[in-house]
Structure formats: structure tokens, C-alpha cells
Chains A and B, each alone.
Chain A
């Protein structure tokens, strides 16, 4: 199994809703990432989990809350989002958090906040 999966593919939510994005990989990778991508821009790093511990938070607002229940799973909990949070949310993983390891991306969740 050489892929990263993400659910749901699409999500529409109101500003008062609470929802979660899910990411899974079974490649034995020990680093997992959340990125946000707006149209015609490169991905922007949000969070890094290294060996199931949060190692980087790129000053992301608290309305985004990451969780790593085990080495294969990564969640992103969403609450009280704003319309400007609408974007493609990408999960990625790499073998280790070393800078020489390639990152593999999931297909993303396209989020629309109304």
C-alpha cells in the first residue's frame, strides 16, 4: 500500500459547524503533515506530527485542531471556521521527519465554508 487516503473528498460547512478531516497511511511513515492550498498558490504547511507528537504548528488559528491518534492516522478538527478558510486541505506523510525524505500527498479534502 503506497498511498495516503483522505476523507471526505468534499465538505461544505457553516461557520458554526464542527467537522473533522481524516487522513490515513499504511506505509509505516512516522511523519505526517497538514497543508492548506488556495487556488493558484503552492501548499502552505499547517502542522507536522513527528512520531505521533506535534512538532510544528505554523501559527495556525485555534479553530483548526490537529490530532494524531496513532502512527497511521491524522485528524484535523474544524470549529467556527471563516469563509476565507475555504481551500483544499492536503495531508502528506514521509518515512521520517528528515529533510531528505520525500513527502507523499493524499488527494485532499476540498472545503467550502459558507
Chain B
């Protein structure tokens, strides 16, 4: 099993739709999880951190299921500007902050 696994997509959705991405991770000891957003040819930008069961920020909701070892990201009322690659990131743990990146899920919101 890969350390962090995501469906690469692309997810093509109309404006206003609700879309959800899942991410599975292999290290059951992981305590923190991150979703980053990356636009084409730009740097990853932190979208959301998840330390307990979930987190919500406006149209974005992240949920953590420790038993099944997956994190989801839900985007409600999709906007054209949400089109990007969404990276699921899990620290490997230990003494140093090595992040394990998923391959990313590409979202294309259509007008």
C-alpha cells in the first residue's frame, strides 16, 4: 500500500456542484493531515489542516476517518477559481517534519 494515495482524476464538475476527494494513508500513527492546493506552475498553498476528526472553512470541509485511514475534502458550491490540483499530505512522523505527498487530484470546474 502506498503511504498516501489519491485518485488522480481529473474531476470535471459544473459550477455550483459539490465534489469530494478521498485520500488514504498507511501510517496508522499519523496525527496530523494537510490539504494543499496547487495551481498550474505555482507553489502548493496550504488549504486546510486536520488534527482531529475534521475541519471546516467556508465551502471547504475536511473529514478524518482514523479507523479506515482516510481523509476526505468536500468542496461545496464549486467556483471556476477552485480549478486546481489538490494534494493530500501526511507527515511521516518521527523527529523531522518529512511530508509525504499524494500524487494530487486534478479538479476542473466547468462554466
Binding site for B on A (CB under 8 A): 31, 33, 41-43, 45, 48, 50, 55-56, 88, 90, 94, 96-108, 110
Task: Give bound CA distance, A98 to B34, whole Å.
Answer: 14
Given A55-B96, A102-B49, output 10 extra A-B contacts at Cβ < 8 Å. A41-B103, A42-B101, A42-B102, A97-B96, A99-B32, A99-B94, A99-B97, A106-B43, A107-B43, A108-B42
- Which residues in B have their C-beta under 8 angstroms from that of A103? 46, 97, 99
Closest-CB distance, A57 to chain B (whole angstroms): 11
Closest-CB distance, A109 to chain B (whole angstroms): 11
Closest-CB distance, A17 to chain B (whole angstroms): 23
B residues 84-111 near A (Cβ < 8 Å) are 87, 91-99, 101-104
List 17 A–B pairs whose Cβ atoms lie within 8 Å, in order of A's numbering: A31-B96, A31-B97, A42-B87, A45-B98, A45-B99, A48-B96, A48-B97, A50-B96, A97-B96, A98-B97, A99-B32, A99-B94, A99-B96, A103-B46, A103-B99, A105-B44, A106-B43
Check if B18 is an interface residue, CB within 8 A of chain A: no
Contact A99 B44 (CB under 8 A): no
Closest-CB distance, A4 to chain B (whole angstroms): 9
Closest partner residue, chain B, to A99 (CB atom): B91
- Which residues in A have their C-beta under 8 angstroms from that of B96? 31, 48, 50, 55-56, 97, 99
Binding site for A on B (CB under 8 A): 31-32, 34, 41-46, 49, 51, 87, 91-99, 101-104
Task: Give bound CA distance, A68 to B65, whole Å.
Answer: 39
- Which residues in A have their C-beta under 8 angstroms from that of B95? 55, 97
Closest-CB distance, A87 to chain B (whole angstroms): 12
Closest-CB distance, B44 to chain A (whole angstroms): 5
Contact B101 A43 (CB under 8 A): yes
Closest-CB distance, B70 to chain A (whole angstroms): 18
Contact A101 B97 (CB under 8 A): yes
Task: Give bound CA distance, A55 to B95, whole Å.
Answer: 10
Contact B99 A90 (CB under 8 A): no
Contact B43 A102 (CB under 8 A): no
